Amino acid sequence: MARPSIVWFRDDLRLADNPALRAAIDRGEPIIALYVLDEESPGVRALGGAARWWLHHSLASLGERLRERGATLVLRRGPAAQVVREFVTDASAGAVFWNRRYGGPERTIDAALKAGLREDDVEVASFAGSLLFEPWTVTTGAGTHFSVFTPFWRACLALPAPRSPLPEPREVDGVRQAPASDSLDDWGLLPQHPDWAGGLRETWEPGEPAARRRLRDFLDHDLAAYDRARDEPAAGATSLLSPRLRWGEVSPHTVWHETVGAGHGGRFLSELGWREFAWHTLFHFPGLATESLRPEFDAFPWPPLDRTRLEAWQRGRTGIPLVDAGMHELWTTGYMHNRVRMVASSFLVKNLLIDWRHGEQWFWDTLVDADEANNPFNWQWVAGSGADAAPYFRVFNPELQAKKFDPDGRYIREWTAGTPSETIDPLVDLGESRKAALAAYERVKRGARA
Ligand code: FAD
């Protein structure tokens, strides 16, 4: 009797260039596609609100595309290791395939599950689908992982080039009677009371087809100006691929090869390199979201949390136009331009003296591209405690940044028009607060030397 193959989808919600799906098709038995919403396993970080919104729509799109090709996406909820193992038994499956994850708790789950399934005599195989280079393949001469980006990326580029993307399957041969699925609507991933997702709906179309269209559009129309205009938030010059990469609607391999094919993409590809660097850092340092990568920063003398200030920052009411514009863009669309992310996060940490973890959590809840590597990695970079971080004494001046990157004020006008930040006074004096931050950082430095 045929023992079906299960493809366990995770952060790879696509059909094209999906090695796990390809392996299942090659095995030749009927296929069941599975997605598990795991909010219970120890250490797995519960998704933020904007991420849940994206996930809902991306799963709806994936389910539809699988159905058109002949297979069913089954949804289940619960601790993944247990749910998958029971599912495999109930479905009398002969094989399970997935693409690898690189966070600590996820790797623990996957390793235990792999061992358990093999004991049950089920074939299991995992694949590289979400990163261009596997973290254990990029090491220094001494066999350790890199803590500085430039040599890291040079080492990546010296490895064999990322494999070519796999073609999208035209058919996925499903089982005749698919196991029961949860209803996506019952998962309650979409906000309801209140429904704050209007701006997200206007801005984004989740799902693989839109991701592929966006990649083509970017390469055809924006790549040529990317190096020049990528830092200008009003220019619309960046790819907007971050949520698509976060959810795996398009693979980094596809982005890599199509960019290489389009020519002059070195700078853009190095941004994908930062994504790799963040994920490799998480792989080697699973506590990235909570612990300073440089332990001496744990001694940073954070003042007691000033909730009023934190809230003013979250709501875009700091009186600093570029920061407020960014925070409004984030709240409305689930996205913020990279330059503005740097300025807004630096302002929180270095002018308001609020622990970066509070900012990281807010971004985690509000970004559609929030992921467990890029978000804490970049926050630590800004705070000065991270890998290849901005030096602690680099305090972005939001006014100079605005002059340089938004000279005609277009971005600021777009996102602050009609909001209180047009009229309110700055929450802090930029010069004074900068001095206070530098004094606090001095204490960390002295502690490190002592
Ligand atoms: P592009 O400029 O078109 O870059 C292409 C791709 O490269 C991006 O889609 C992204 O996958 C990757 N990339 C670009 N810059 C970075 C970077 N600095 N670090 C890692 N990868 C990068 N990015 C996330 O994907 N998720 C996050 O949760 C996230 N949190 C951030 C928090 C802070 C405080 C800061 C300063 C940056 C954060 N970033 C995060 C990085 C960056 O801001 C976004 O990846 C970028 O703005 C996405 O827009 P884009 O796709 O148009 O980028």
Ligand 1, closest atom to CA 345?
A: 34
pTM flag (> 0.85): yes
Question: What homologous superfamily does CATH list for 5-129?
Answer: HUPs (3.40.50.620)
Nearest Cα residue to atom 14 of ligand 1 = 271
Tokens representing residue 57 in the block = 């729509």
Nearest Cα residue to atom 17 of ligand 1 = 274
CATH of domain 295-449: 1.10.579.10
CA distance 347 to 313: 9
What is the number of other CB atoms lying within 10 angstroms of the CB of residue 179?
16
Q: Is the CB of 342 under 6 A from ligand 1?
A: yes
pLDDT in tens, 320-354: 999 999 999 999 999 999 999 999 999 999 999 99
- Cis geometry, peptide bond prior to residue 194 (ω within 30 degrees of 0): yes
Q: Is the CB of 375 under 6 A from ligand 1?
A: yes
Torsion sign over Cα 7, 11, 13, 18: negative
CA distance 200 to 190: 11
How is the chain split into domains, by residue range? 5-129, 131-161+209-284, 295-449
Q: Order the strands of the 123-127 sheet from edge to edge.
A: 73-77, 31-37, 5-9, 95-99, 123-127
Nearest Cα residue to atom 46 of ligand 1 = 338
CA distance 356 to 320: 19
May I ask the CATH class of domain 131-161+209-284?
mainly alpha
CA of 338 to the centre of ligand 1 (A): 6
Q: Is the CB of 245 under 6 A from ligand 1?
A: yes
Nearest Cα residue to atom 11 of ligand 1 = 242
- Give pLDDT, residue 449: 61
pLDDT in tens, 2-18: 899 999 999 999 999 99
CB 424 within 8 A of CB 338: no
CB 140 within 8 A of CB 38: no
Among 131, 214, 369, 379, the mutation site with the greatest number of ligand 1 atoms within 8 A of its Cβ is: 369
pLDDT in tens, 362-413: 999 999 999 999 999 999 999 999 877 777 778 899 999 999 999 999 999 9
Please give, one letter per residue, the 3-state secondary structure of 163-218.
CCCCCCCCCCCECCCCCCCCCCHHHCCCCCCCCCCHHHHHHCCCCHHHHHHHHHHH
CB 287 within 8 A of CB 51: no
Q: Is the CB of 379 under 6 A from ligand 1?
A: yes
- Give pLDDT, residue 356: 97
Q: Is the CB of 272 under 6 A from ligand 1?
A: yes
pLDDT in tens, 169-208: 999 999 999 999 999 999 999 999 899 999 999 999 999 9
CA of 61 to the centre of ligand 1 (A): 24
CA of 179 to the centre of ligand 1 (A): 38
Q: Is 290 helix (H, G, I), strand (E, B) or coil?
A: coil
CA distance 172 to 192: 34
- Listed in sequence order, the residues at least 6 apart from 252 whose beta carbon sits closer than 8 Å to its beta carbon are 130, 131, 132, 162, 245, 272, 275, 276
Ligand 1, closest atom to CA 278?
A: 20
CA of 162 to the centre of ligand 1 (A): 20
**Which residues, in sequence order, are bridge partners of residue 6?**
32, 96
CA of 244 to the centre of ligand 1 (A): 11
pLDDT of 450 over the 60 cut: no
CA distance 250 to 242: 10
Torsion sign over Cα 10, 12, 13, 19: negative
pLDDT of 423 over the 70 cut: yes
Burial 392-426 (b: 16+ CB within 10 A, else e): beebbbbeebbeebbeeeebbeebbeebebeeeeb
